[in-house]
A = this chain, B = another copy of it.
């Protein structure tokens, strides 16, 4: 924002984006031919929508990610340190890192998930779990640490290849907390930024980890110039964590923590969804078909939820609240359906497998209690079905987002962006999206099923004018804060905090 960077190619700033999941994945088909496809997920979708839109005269971007498939690893081996460009998909050079599968498993399946995910979402039942034994220590030392080192080396390599004394490095999410510290130690003038896409809990949640591990993670993040979060609450928690766990001085007015002679800023700006792209997807014929089916089959009221079967999503309590609603409002019998789209998630993790079982059992119990041959109160679909999800977004009267904890929750925004019935959003106070959308939704405490039952009732009975006003305002909010704006905001914040860097 400090004026144009100039037209010459060598004035471009190297921009290394790091995320665990990359924008594309390669597969080898039955015909033996290599195929490439886009990955899913909110972060990837947002970056795919925004990175190619950055001013090409200012930035020289490359996207670093982990090779996810065997074919990814083959591609990585063929290209070595060179980035692949897959114009039709990514429109941005991509470098995939081949990581030893065992090491990756310790890094990903044993440490990042579930350890960091559970800590940051407050999901551990601390009386009995986790038990941090030798396997957990190894997952960190022989998994998280070496994978972070590998990524940091690749970042360093990309920065050197691309020249520029002050490259920008943007690291995404909880997989790579050590990377900024490692990059800083070999490249002190890099401008470093991490965006944490999941909640940052209060300091005591981190005390679950051995002191040397939690200290290393925080110090890794403190290699950044800026650490970004979806909400002010997370940014504040991060600073207070630095104070309480590392005894570092913080300033909650300026939102900075001081370490040595450096200052690290904690900022907040919620990610959003690309409304135009969503609308284009929703116009697809598969979606239109699903939508017609929903309309043909629908009862008077349609409640919808769309969530991976992750314990943080609070699917069971949502059904218990609906159960209570049907008990308290017998007049709703036969007049409402709760359509729950629940793609299965991480079924190799015992807690996740047990949770999906709980979800199924709860649905059976509620349907047995209130339903009959002619009406099933809950329609549970345990499957990945994007067309149906997009159709359901358009058709809901109430969208249930009652997460126990949620960095942001893009479902709330996708629903608001696409809904065409002035549907109401029932939104957890503990979802990051509550900061933006709370005023235009019915807020709920995720633990309180009485309040959630009342909220669904309110969502189904609020009068039309108010529904319309709330929906329109919420949609404007979502449209306004689009992903391109978000990415540019991160870059501007970084430049504001460390300057545009010396000319190359």
Contact = CB atoms under 8 A, between A and B. Distances in A.
A126 interface: yes
A208 interface: yes
A132 interface: yes
Interface string A448-482: 11110000000000000000000000000000000
A1 interface: no
A204, A312, A314 pick with most chain B CB within 10 angstroms: A204
Interface stretch (A103-111, A117-125, A273-281, A284-292): A117-125
Nearest to A233: B244
A84 interface: no
Interface in A173-210: 201-204, 207-210
Do most interface residues of chain A lie in helix, strand or loop, or is the interface mixed? loop
B131 A447 contact: yes
B450 A132 contact: yes
A124 B311 CA distance: 14
Contacts of A404: 126-127
A456 to B, nearest CB: 15
Given A127-B312, A358-B128, A203 B202 contact: yes
Given A123-B125, A126-B122, A445 B131 contact: no
Contact of A123 (B126, B131, B203, B358): B126
Given A122-B204, A127-B312, A320 B133 contact: yes
A491 interface: no
Interface string A129-145: 11111100100000000
B131 A127 contact: no
A59 interface: no
A126 B311 CA distance: 9
* Chain copies in complex: 2
Interface string A197-236: 0000111100111110000000000000000000000000
B210 A451 contact: yes
A127 B355 contact: yes
Contacts of A353: none
Contact of A320 (B123, B131, B320, B447): B131
A227 to B, nearest CB: 19
A429 interface: yes
A349 to B, nearest CB: 12
A409 interface: no
Contacts of A355: 127-128
A276 to B, nearest CB: 36
A316 interface: yes
A20 interface: no
A139 to B, nearest CB: 12
A324 interface: yes
Interface of A: 122-134, 137, 201-204, 207-211, 240, 311-312, 314, 316-317, 320, 324, 351, 355, 358, 404-405, 429-430, 445, 447-451
20 contacts: A122-B126, A123-B125, A123-B126, A125-B127, A127-B312, A127-B351, A127-B355, A127-B404, A128-B316, A130-B447, A131-B317, A131-B320, A131-B447, A133-B449, A202-B202, A207-B429, A207-B430, A210-B445, A210-B451, A240-B240
Given A130-B447, A132-B448, A202-B203, 16 more contacts: A122-B126, A122-B204, A123-B125, A125-B126, A127-B351, A127-B355, A131-B320, A132-B445, A134-B324, A134-B450, A201-B204, A202-B202, A202-B204, A207-B445, A211-B429, A240-B240
